[in-house]
Structure 1
Amino acid sequence: MATFVLCDGAFGGAWAWREVEKELIKQGHAVFSLTLTGLGDRNHLLTPDINLETHITDVVNTILFEDLNNIYLVGHSYGGGVIIGAADQLLNRISKLIFFDALILEDNQSINDLYSKSFVKQTKEIVQSKGEGFRLPKPDSGPIYTTDHPFKTFEQKIKLMNKVELRQIPCAFINCTQKSSHPVMEPINQFADRAKQEKWEYIEISAGHNAHWEKPVELAKIFINLADKNDVYDMQNRST
């Protein structure tokens, strides 16, 4: 049995993993799907004070209070930056980081740093005009459960304390090959290329950016296969 902790991206929440979670549980695995502060069913907590550190702490505290170990920590889209921060604090509890069509942050880097100045400027203007200066309005399309996103989470630079040790954690990247050409996807495509160059486990799924809505069973099988591969690796290491 593997333990999966699932962190969704901007505007999302635990609800986005519902069908993936069902499949993983059916196959005998433990699953903890997170809703980050201010999002989804926790949208009543949305305030100007929520930042990236808040969301990292959401993940860290779930792992600590549930006393989880040997975790397959999954981050989708914006959630990729969140799980990096959580793993930095809980190195010995993570078996593998799984970046699912995700953004990846380096030390002292913010989500906004991954985008062009013109794109960030345009986004800030939307936040000011339609989001009271602190929230990015939810997309017009998509499930009814999407909620506005705290913009400070994109502005705050991540602080990593264990950069060398963090690089020792096995990583995988799942690339959704049918996603749109929207500018928000450009850095994700670059991280997919980087994952291949750095010899990470690299898997493609023929789906849009939100494959956990579109192809949950197929995505769950990918997660399980990634856990199985890690188990084989661990057994080989223990026997040498």
Structure 2
Amino acid sequence: MATFVLCDGAFGGAWAWREVEKELIKQGHVVFSLTLAGLGDRNHLLTPDINLETHITDVVNTILFEDLNNIYLVGHSYGGGVIIGAADQLLNRISKLIFFDALILEDTQSINDLYSESFVKQTKEIVQSKGEGFRLPKPDSGPIYNTDHPFKTFEQKIKLMNKAELRQIPRAFINCTQKSSHPVLEPINQFAEKAKQKNGNTLKFPPDIMRIGKNRLN
């Protein structure tokens, strides 16, 4: 039996893990699916002040207040950056970091740093024109439960205090076989390729098997 903490990507929430959660519980595991501040059922908390550190604290506090140990910490897409920050603060509680088609941040990097200047500029223009200057509107074609995302979470650079120890935590990268040319997926696909080159292979699952029940364009 293992303890899983599941962190979704941009626009999403705990609802995205429903089917995965059911399967893990059926197998005897303990599962905590998180909704980060300002998203999903917590969208009423969305303010201009929410940043990456806010979301890292969401994960850290869940682990501390539930007194969780030996954790398989899972992050999808944007959530990959969040779980790196949480693991940096809770090194002794994490058994493995699992990046499910996720972004991976290094010290002093932001999510925006992983994308081209043109893509970031275009995104900022959308935030200014349609998101009151602080929120990125949810994609029109995404799941109905998607909500707007606080843009500061993409701008803030992560600060890692235990870089050497963090690298000692075992990692896995789950790469969905569904491919897309959408620019938001470019760095994710690059991380998958790096994992393949380093480890000889990546874990590949069609999205319907993972049954995350959401669009990959998170």
TM-score of the aligned structures, taking structure 2 as reference length:
0.90
Q: What is the aligned-residue identity percentage?
A: 94
- Give the Å deviation of 1:142: 2.1
Cα distance change, pair 23–115 in 1 and its aligned pair in 2 (3 A): same
Q: CA 1:82–1:238 in structure 2 vs 1: closer, same or farther (change >3 Å)?
A: closer
Distance 1:146 1:127 in 2: 16
* Distance in 2 separating the partners of 1:237 and 1:23: 20
1:58-81: per-residue Cα shift (whole Å, max 9, x none)? Answer: 000000000000000000000000
The Cα of 1:238 is off from its aligned counterpart by 39
How many residue pairs align between the two structures? 202
**Structure 1 segment 1-240 matched on structure 2, within 5 A:** 1-197=1-197
SS at match of 2:139: coil
CA distance in 2, matches of 1:125, 1:238: 23
SS in 1 for 2:146: coil
Structure 1 residue 177 displacement after superposition? 1.8
Once the two structures are TM-superposed, the CA of residue 153 in structure 1 deviates from its matched residue by: 0.1
Q: Which has the larger radius of gyration?
A: 1
Per-residue Cα deviation, 1:208-231 (whole angstroms, up to 9, x for no partner): xxxxxxxxxxxxxxxxxxxxxxxx
Per-residue deviation at 1:179?
3.0
Deviation at 1:237, TM superposition (A): 39
Cα displacement string for residues 23-54 of structure 1 (whole angstroms, at most 9, x for unaligned residues):
11111110000000000000000000000000
Superposition misfits of 4+ residues, deviation over 2 angstroms: 236-240
SS for the counterpart of 1:129 is helix
Describe the shift of the 1:30–1:113 C-alpha distance in structure 2 as closer, same or farther (beyond 3 A).
same
Alpha-carbon offset, residue 195 of structure 1: 1.2
Contact 2:96 2:171 (8 Å CA) reproduced: yes
Q: Which has the higher helix share?
A: 1
RMSD between superposed Cα atoms in Å: 6.3
In structure 2, runs of 5+ residues without a counterpart are 198-213
C-alpha deviation, 1:239, in angstroms: 44
Cα gap change, 1:28/1:194 in structure 2, threshold over 3 Å: closer, same or farther? Answer: same
SS state at 1:237 partner: coil
How far the C-alpha of 1:144 sits from its partner, in A, is 1.0
Moved more, 87-96 or 140-149: 140-149
Alpha carbons of 1:239 and 1:61: their partners in 2 closer, same or farther (altered >3 Å)?
closer
TM (norm. structure 1) is 0.81
1:182-240 deviation per Cα after TM superposition (whole angstroms, max 9, x unaligned):
0000000110111123xxxxxxxxxxxxxxxxxxxxxxxxxxxxxxxxxxxxxx99999
Partners of 1:134 and 1:177 lie apart in 2 by 33
Deviations 1:118-174 (A, max 9, x none): 000000000000000000000101221100000000000000000000000000000
Aligned equivalents of 2:194 and 2:97: distance in 1? 15
Q: Is 86-95 or 136-145 further displaced after alignment?
A: 136-145
Kept in 1, the 8 Å contact 2:185–2:217? The answer is: no
Report if the CA contact (8 A) 2:142-2:217 is conserved: no
